[in-house]
Amino acid sequence: MYIGEVAKRTGATARAIRLYESLGLLVVPRRGRYRVYDATHVEFIQLIKHAQTVGVTLAELQTLRRDGNDLDWSALDGLLQRKHGQLQQDIADKQAQAALITRYRQVIADCVARDLARCEPLG
């Protein structure tokens, strides 16, 4: 199949598919001047897109690439584990931030309710 068909099947643009190829993520044989894709290319492009949705960059995927259209799956698992840990830390940080905002808003609401000209320090 040609690039237009692959784009339809994967939801990736032809430009994105060419980018994956130029980065060495996708190896596509040529027949004359046309690239010829098969079902494994469709699957690999879908994998790339899924990886991007969870925060894996194309540069990270490049470091995980093996021969052909394959990845070092153990290394990918390790990368996903690190990303998951960072995400958990980010969530904890955001929850702490939300708790502080709630506290500050309560102090301000108390000041407003008591019609105070000056609030107590928030620290």
Same domain, 66 and 77: no
Mean pLDDT of the chain: 92
Question: Residue 113 is part of which domain span?
Answer: 73-123
Q: pTM of the full predicted structure?
A: 0.77
Same domain, 66 and 96: no
Q: In the chain, what percentage of residues exceed pLDDT 90?
A: 77
- Give the start-end residues of each E strand in 4-73: 30-31, 34-35
Same domain, 48 and 79: no
CATH of the domain at 30: 1.10.1660.10
Q: Which helix (H) or strand (E) holds 3?
A: helix 3-10
Same domain, 67 and 79: no
| Structure token pair of residue 106 | 């309560």
8 A C-beta contact, residue 49 and residue 19: no
| Structure token pair of residue 90 | 């980010």
- Going by pLDDT thresholds of 50, 70 and 90, the confidence category of residue 43 is very high
Same domain, 47 and 80: no
Domains identified in the chain, total number: 2
| Structure token pair of residue 75 | 């290394």
User: Each residue of 48-87: pLDDT tens digit?
Assistant: 999 999 999 999 999 999 877 789 999 999 999 999 999 9
Same domain, 77 and 119: yes
Place of tokens 């958990």: 88
| Structure token pair of residue 55 | 């925060």
d(CA 113, CA 123): 20
